[in-house]
Amino acid sequence: MANKFSRKQFLQQSAKTTLAVSLTSFAGADVLAGCTSAKVLSSVPTVTGFEQTPLPYAYPALEPVIDALTMEIHYSKHASAYAKNAKDAAAAEKVDMSKPIEDVLQSISKYSVKMRNNAGGHYNHELFWKCMQPGGSVMGSGALQQAIIKTFGSVEAFQTQFSDAGKNRFGSGWAWLYADKDKQLKIGSTPNQDNPLMDISEIKGTPLLGLDVWEHAYYLKYQNRRADYVTAWWKVVNWDFVSARFDAL
């Protein structure tokens, strides 16, 4: 399958991603410096608007963990459709699309099922792409790692619990590391395209790390072996991005 990204485009995207992470980190530092008590969801940088943003790497960039064809279909067909349908729903339901999509998700019970499925799907995928990077990364020994060890006992125990959330989600859905309103780390999963931002969700908080366990995310390479996909996925997690979101809480 031909890769639609040229090397130049890839380098441009890489530069943008680096800049975005840097800006995110700076914003997080600013929030922490200026505000020591109020912890609100809105302090975390928004993930996306209603438009689908460019994939921050080329389709083959996450191989061998995620194959190029899966990435291409996932981004250009599945996620693209969620974005289009979310915009259609937003237009029909008179949503101000200049506002963060997080606002809609936090009051999703007021909107249609079409909005729930597609605004959720769009947001989740935009977050998912940013949660990964070619070659993966090291978690680092910052605040997130300290909180993970304090909450789950060890990084390994955290990864096992998170992986189980993905493996055990019956049917389609997502596994999440999220922070509740008290900035406490939690692991959970949601069905379909729901997420912890939604007021109708059983688990509530700010998503920090999300794993797509829909079959479309892994079936071409892993077929029925979801557990193998979940295990391999840790090799491409972008911990800088996840840490920056935690720091900004």
Q: Provide the binding-site residues for Mn ion, judged by CB under 5 A.
A: 212, 214, 217
Q: Please, what is the minimum distance in Å from the beta carbon of residue 124 to Mn ion?
A: 7
Residue nearest to Mn ion (CB): 212
Give DSSP secondary structure letters for the chain: ------HHHHHHHHHHHHHHHHHHHHHHHHHHHH-SS---GGGSPP---SSPPPPSS-GGGGTTTS-HHHHHHIIIIIIHHHHHHHHHHHHHTT--TTS-HHHHHHTGGGS-HHHHHHHHHHHHHHHHHHTB-TT-----SSHHHHHHHHHHSSHHHHHHHHHHHHHH--SSEEEEEEE-TT--EEEEEEETT--TTSTT-SS-SEEEEEEE-SGGGTHHHHTT-HHHHHHHHGGGB-HHHHHHHHHT-
Choice between 69 and 92, CB closer to Mn ion: 69
Q: Please, what is the minimum distance in Å from the beta carbon of residue 115 to Mn ion?
A: 18
Q: Please, what is the minimum distance in Å from the beta carbon of residue 78 to Mn ion?
A: 5
For 6, list phi and psi in degrees, rounded to 5: -80, 165
Choice between 120 and 188, CB closer to Mn ion: 120
Choice between 178 and 214, CB closer to Mn ion: 214
Choice between 131 and 217, CB closer to Mn ion: 217
Q: Please, what is the minimum distance in Å from the beta carbon of residue 174 to Mn ion?
A: 9
Q: Please, what is the minimum distance in Å from the beta carbon of residue 128 to Mn ion?
A: 7
Choice between 211 and 217, CB closer to Mn ion: 217
Q: Please, what is the minimum distance in Å from the beta carbon of residue 84 to Mn ion?
A: 15
For the chain, report the end-to-end CA distance as a whole number of angstroms: 40
Choice between 41 and 232, CB closer to Mn ion: 232
